[in-house]
Amino acid sequence: MAVKIKTKFGTVDIDNDVIANIVGGAATDNYGVVGMASRNQLRDNMNDILNRENYFKGVEVKQRDNEIVINVYIIVSYGNKISEVSKNVQSKVKYNLQSMLGVTANSVNVIVQGVQVQND
């Protein structure tokens, strides 16, 4: 399934894997985010942090009518304020989607799948 954007010249289809890579890169670039988590850890049998090739397992893109909803599944570093980390992820994801693809996300939902202690 792809996100469809209608322009005066025609329709542009953007694959969900492309959006997942941009969203995953934006999410992991924030302070306090350890990495991406799988949205269904039991089915995927993944308790680990996702690498760049598997970002699509931690991002869910939904399009209804002309609204785009993105769910991002992350792991937060212990000792950080989860609400602030989530707000930073939301704003960075929205900014990157708008600047790189011209896609405006109506909502970005951040789901924290876990908290991990970081070794210094």
50-79 pLDDT, tens digit per residue, is: 777 777 888 998 887 778 899 999 999 998
User: Could you tell me the two tokens for 102?
Assistant: 């011209």
Instruction: Enumerate the domain spans of the chain.
Output: 2-116
* Residue 69, helix vs strand vs coil: strand
Q: Would you say 5 and 72 are in contact if contact means Cβ atoms under 8 Å apart?
A: no
Q: Judge whether residue 85 has pLDDT over 90.
A: yes
Query: Rounded mean pLDDT of the chain?
Result: 85
Residue 117 vs residue 44, higher pLDDT: 117
Question: How would residue 38 be classed by pLDDT, with cut points 50, 70 and 90?
Answer: confident
pTM of the model: 0.84
**Across residues 13-38, what is the average pLDDT?**
90
- Rounded Cα–Cα distance for residues 74 and 71 (Å): 10
* CATH superfamily of the 2-116 domain: Cation efflux protein, cytoplasmic domain (3.30.70.1350)
- Rounded Cα–Cα distance for residues 74 and 23 (Å): 11
- Rounded Cα–Cα distance for residues 115 and 32 (Å): 10
Q: Would you say 32 and 88 are in contact if contact means Cβ atoms under 8 Å apart?
A: yes
Question: How would residue 44 be classed by pLDDT, with cut points 50, 70 and 90?
Answer: low
